[in-house]
Amino acid sequence: MNILFVTTSNITMNPRLGKELKLALALGYDATVVCFKFDNWSEKFDQDFFAENPTIQVTKISAGRHPFLPWFCSSLFQLISRFVWYMVPSLIVASLANDKRSYLLSKTLKEMKAKPDLIIGHNLGTLAPIWAYSQRNKIPFGFDMEDYHPDELTDAVHEKKRREQIIRSTLKDARYVSCSAELISKKLKSLLKGKGPGLKVVENIFPRDQFVYCNKNNKKLNFVWFSQNISLNRGLEKFIPILQEFDDKIKLTLIGQLNSDIRQTGLLEKDFIEILPPLCQKDLNKKICESDVGLAIEDEKNNENRNLCLTNKIIAYYQAGLYILATDTLAQRAFIVKRQKPGIICKNDGASIRKALNYILTNRAEIRQARRQRFNDARKYCWESKSKKLSQIWKEGINDTE
């Protein structure tokens, strides 16, 4: 039995996909993936992943301008589609307008000779291509929704409508949809109005063995924040000036690709800040275990999806046993409250941030002392446990076609 995974990204920038690929292999499935190649820091980690999992059949499409013709065609089709959609609001036009990689994926899927038993899409740009492939070849498909895509935008009204159209037109025929957060599932259910499959919540958690108990008890309290890119408009602009007020008591470690926009501001040129380059997921998870406090900075005012989603950050901090300083989004508040408050919630304003930091520093001894309990509590919250739900979904999806 073969499962075909499709993404508009790559494995490194879509860690959920990497976990699903490994799960498929562990369950005895043949695994095939169609993804993209990026000429940046992530490509080395992708090569390492496939070297460690050589049985995965992989097709990589260039995301850049080489070769020129596919890139030019996809870019041109996207530009034209954004104008044509107003007159011809079809699914294919909406898909091309939304993501130019949809065209490249459709072209690649049409050229594939081997037919899988199940196809799974990651990222919105895959939806129309895998739906068309599924309809053409009578193969069931599923979709993983890590974010609520229509609400990822702040002011693009027409793009929001296109995204809603893509979701409604395709997911009605899906065998399953896995959502990374309960609030995303509820919002999607409302959009589909019962016209679609059952929605399963499978949170984007990590394997248990990627986290090790660590309690260094350094003189300074070590805060950590990570992302694929360290850039502006991620909340750091508001937090760092306030953290600097306590620079004799704390250290901040940032992990990720440092973008030029934030570098040029000089915001990070502080003695209490340490900047580390991107790490592969397992090394990243082990590294954050060395810290005391994880910063889960989300601004719900940026877009509504920030209010609904659970990021890799807050989940990894929890599994590492860190104390969590989380800004007040609906999803993060629910996460903290449900797990007996392994951290503190604060509003995303200067006074609230300052108050939360004072609380953490005043109670640093108790916070460190409780780390072992937090780490142990999180051991049962792991990919090994949660992925069983996904395993059953795949089994049922494939068996229903036999």
Q: Where are the beta strands (DSSP E) in 180-249?
A: 199-201, 221-230
Q: Which residue matches tokens 């890799």? A: 312
- Calculate the alpha carbon distances from 42 to 288, 290, 323 in Å: 19, 24, 29
What is the pLDDT, as a whole number, of residue 155? 63
Q: Would you state the structure tokens that stand for residue 95, as one six-digit string?
A: 């898909």
pLDDT in tens, 113-159: 889 999 999 999 999 999 999 999 999 999 999 999 999 986 677 99
- Measured in Å, how far apart are the chain's first and last C-alpha atoms? 11
Contact indicator for 300, 330 with CB cutoff of 8 Å: yes
At 169, which amino acid appears? S
What is the pLDDT, as a whole number, of residue 198? 82
Nearest to 5 by CA among 110, 144, 132, 198: 144
Report whether pLDDT(197) > 90: no
Report whether pLDDT(402) > 60: no
Helix, strand, coil in percent for the chain, rounding step 5: 50, 20, 35
Report whether pLDDT(19) > 80: yes
Residues 191 and 160: their CA atoms lie apart, in Å, by 12
Give the least confident one: 52-56, 213-217, 312-316, 366-370: 213-217
| DSSP 8-state code for residue 54 | T
Report whether pLDDT(301) > 90: no
What is the pLDDT, as a whole number, of residue 109? 97
What is the pLDDT, as a whole number, of residue 195? 85
Instruction: Say what percent of the chain tops pLDDT 70.
Output: 99
Q: Which residue matches tokens 């900075």? A: 297
- Calculate the alpha carbon distances from 230 to 61, 251, 253, 300 in Å: 26, 17, 11, 19
The CATH number assigned to the domain with range 208-378 reads 3.40.50.2000
Report whether pLDDT(257) > 60: yes
Question: Boundaries of CATH 3.40.50.2000 in the chain?
Answer: 2-205+383-399, 208-378
Mean of per-residue pLDDT scores for the chain: 94
What is the pLDDT, as a whole number, of residue 154? 60
The CATH number assigned to the domain with range 2-205+383-399 reads 3.40.50.2000
pLDDT in tens, 359-386: 999 999 999 999 999 999 999 999 999 9
Q: Is 275 exposed, middle or buried, given 0-12, 13-18 or 19+ CB atoms closer than 10 A?
A: middle
Q: Would you state the structure tokens that stand for residue 57, as one six-digit string?
A: 């059949």
Helices and strands, number each (H, E), in the chain:
18, 13
What is the pLDDT, as a whole number, of residue 113? 87
Q: Where are the beta strands (DSSP E) in 91-198?
A: 118-122, 141-145, 176-179
Report whether pLDDT(281) > 90: yes
Q: How sure is the predictor about 340, in pLDDT bands with cuts at 50, 70 and 90?
A: confident
- Calculate the alpha carbon distances from 119 to 86, 106, 219, 221 in Å: 31, 13, 51, 46
Report whether pLDDT(31) > 80: yes
pLDDT in tens, 58-100: 999 999 999 999 999 999 999 999 999 999 999 999 999 999 9
- Calculate the alpha carbon distances from 198 to 57, 105, 183 in Å: 29, 26, 15
